[in-house]
Amino acid sequence: MNGLTLAEAQKALAAGLAKADEIGVPMNVAVVDAGGHLLAFARQDRAIRASIDISQRKAVTAILMNLPTAALAPLVQPGQELYGLEQTAGGMIAFGGGIPVHRDGELVGAVGVSAGSVEQDVSVAEAAVAALT
């Protein structure tokens, strides 16, 4: 299995930042490899500082669960099967903005975005991932 290269991570990062500029919301964008290790990161001017960590945790959560983080939101609600999941593995994130990247059916990395609304974060993450396909 070939993981994301640094060049691919930078391409995804650039696409995510361009989408953030397009929608007018400064973002934090993180790209990780299949092991959850940071390959590329940028914080745009005026992006929320707390979202530096959140963007990276979204990317790692997408790796650990092999799912978009948005898919976890309904599963972690009180009374649901995965309630409390976000308290495990160092603090997973269970709302949108983290998207795994697959190549030939294999997990090769993930993108995590934070600093806007969930919808905005997802939009920027989708743009970053789309740059790799």
Q: Is it true that domain 6-130 has CATH number 3.30.450.150?
A: yes
Q: Tell me the average pLDDT across 100-106.
A: 95
Secondary structure class of 66 (helix, strand, coil): coil
Please give the Cα distance from 41 to 45 (Å, whole number).
13
61-71 pLDDT, tens digit each: 999 999 999 99
Domain residue limits, the chain: 6-130
What rounded mean pLDDT belongs to the chain? 95
- Quote the DSSP letter at residue 79: T
The answer to whether 58 and 114 are in contact (CB under 8 A) is: yes
Q: Tell me the average pLDDT across 31-50.
A: 97
